[in-house]
Amino acid sequence: MAFLALGVLLLLAASGIYVAAILGIMSIVMAEAFSFFPLLPALGDITWSASTEFILVAVPLFILMGELLLRTGIAEDMFRALDRWVNWVPGGLMHTNIASTAMFAATSGSSVATAATIGTVSIPNIAKHNYNPSLFLGSLAAGGTLGILIPPSINMIIYAFLTDSSVTSLYLAAMIPGILLAVMFSMAILLACIVKPSLSGSRSRSSWTERFRSLKHLLPPIVLFVVVVGSIYAGFATPTEAASLGVVAALLFGFYRKRISGPVLLAAFEGTMRTTAMVTLIVVIAFFLNFVLQSLGIIQFVEDFMEGLNVNPTLAMLAIFVFYLLLGMFMETLSMMIATTPIVVPVILSLGYDPIWFGVVFMILIEAALITPPIGVNLFVVQAVRGRGPFRDVVLGSLPFLLMMIGMLLLLLAFPDMALLLPSIFN
């Protein structure tokens, strides 16, 4: 039954039906066809309990914070400031892409928003400075994925909700791998441009006076990161309370720069509501699907099946890596995470792995799915912002960064303390 359910899930996903509808259909069909007692009457209670969880309030707040940074131009100012400092390195603006996506990810929590925002500012420079389109676009698509990993991450909040894990521990665990992965992205660009200088384009030069003057534009994202993540780490605020503090800080920066107006707020609220409605509907329906899977004993069956194979935990984890890398070619990341978490995490626990460690690994696997064709969402986001040119440019340009992600996964498997060190120190 477990393999039948997975097959139906993949078939529906490939059909182009909306994710929430897929999960809803799966839930109803399985509840009616295989359950010995009625499960649908529980839908109301489960929907209510899932939608009233306090931790989920952080999701729209983080989305709103990112929207405010975008609509008030703070993200664009940040990009220009970072470019002043890193444009001298071989690769020029591509390093700015990685640095700015990493910094914006540390305030927005959304990979799609990160790729779209920085891409809008950066892509016009391809023709202006004669950059290789493929590698340049790949740096934007890959850099945007850091929104899932670098705290605060919306996906980590959902993972914590689904697995009853600590958001604070997950954020601490993701800090070192997130920063290291961003550095690895820049190193890939540097090596490529050293080997083939024509990839680098024409680099602009900035004086030290210009660089120091630009530092004021880096202050808002840095302050927001300290307010949000710092308040969580210090135990001063819960993730939801920290998100609300971040929204207030973003509003204050917008008012200080005289960029807050009625149309700006309306656009930010509308963007927030659209994204939040989509995410919340998927989470609520997936919560009911999880209830059905548990009631039918499918989760226990998968766990017993894996234990019965008696395979080496490392080999089992490598198989899970391959499974998600392949699954990412055909499923959107949020649906993939929500649909598989309740099945895979018990297996991970039975293999002896830490759920916090796996949370970080899971985020990187989802990151890889964002730039894996043919469904990689960030590939389409960057191509849409670009507006013209062959789609294969974005796909081919993302491949070096996909290899960096696989390398990071292997490093975490070999050295799990990379993720578990900070949680062990601060918790």
Judge if the upstream peptide bond of residue 197 is cis by omega within 30 degrees of 0: no
Give the range with max mean pLDDT: 5-19, 88-102, 104-118.
88-102
Q: How confident is the model at residue 15 (pLDDT cuts 50, 70, 90)?
A: low
Residues 153-209: tens digit of each pLDDT: 888 888 888 888 888 899 999 999 999 999 999 999 999 888 888 877 666 677 778
Answer whether residue 19 is part of any domain: no
Encode burial over 231-267: b for 16+ CB neighbours within 10 A, e otherwise: bbbeeebbbbbbbbbbbebbbebbeeeeebeeebbee
Of 400, 339, 297, 382, give the one whose Cα is nearest residue 6: 339
Answer whether residue 17 is part of any domain: no
- The reported pLDDT for the residue numbered 347 is 85
Domain range for 397 is: 45-426
Evaluate if residue 20 carries a pLDDT over 70: no
Q: How confident is the model at residue 406 (pLDDT cuts 50, 70, 90)?
A: very high
Give the range with max mean pLDDT: 196-200, 340-344, 358-362.
358-362
pLDDT mean across residues, the chain:
81
The amino acid present at 282, given as its one-letter code, is I
Answer whether residue 356 is part of any domain: yes
Answer whether residue 394 is part of any domain: yes
Of 405, 373, 406, 368, give the one whose Cα is nearest residue 392: 373
- Calculate mean pLDDT across residues 300-309: 65
Helices (H), 262-388: 262-295, 298-309, 313-327, 333-350, 355-370, 377-386
Where is average pLDDT lowest: 27-36, 233-242, 362-371, 372-381? 27-36
Question: How far is residue 417's CA from residue 420's CA, in Å, rounded to a whole number?
Answer: 5
* Count of structural domains within the chain: 1
- The reported pLDDT for the residue numbered 36 is 65
Residues 270-298: tens digit of each pLDDT: 888 887 887 777 777 777 777 777 677 76
Answer whether residue 165 is part of any domain: yes
- The reported pLDDT for the residue numbered 74 is 84
Answer whether residue 38 is part of any domain: no
CA 217 from chain center: how many Å?
25
Answer whether residue 112 is part of any domain: yes
Q: How confident is the model at residue 78 (pLDDT cuts 50, 70, 90)?
A: confident
Answer whether residue 143 is part of any domain: yes
Question: How far is residue 166's CA from residue 150's CA, in Å, rounded to a whole number?
Answer: 16
CA 333 from chain center: how many Å?
9
- pTM attached to this predicted model: 0.80
Instruction: Report the interhelical angle of 43-51 vs 262-295 (nearest 10°).
Output: 140
Q: How confident is the model at residue 18 (pLDDT cuts 50, 70, 90)?
A: low
Instruction: Report the interhelical angle of 154-163 vs 355-370 (nearest 10°).
Output: 140
Evaluate if residue 66 carries a pLDDT over 70: yes
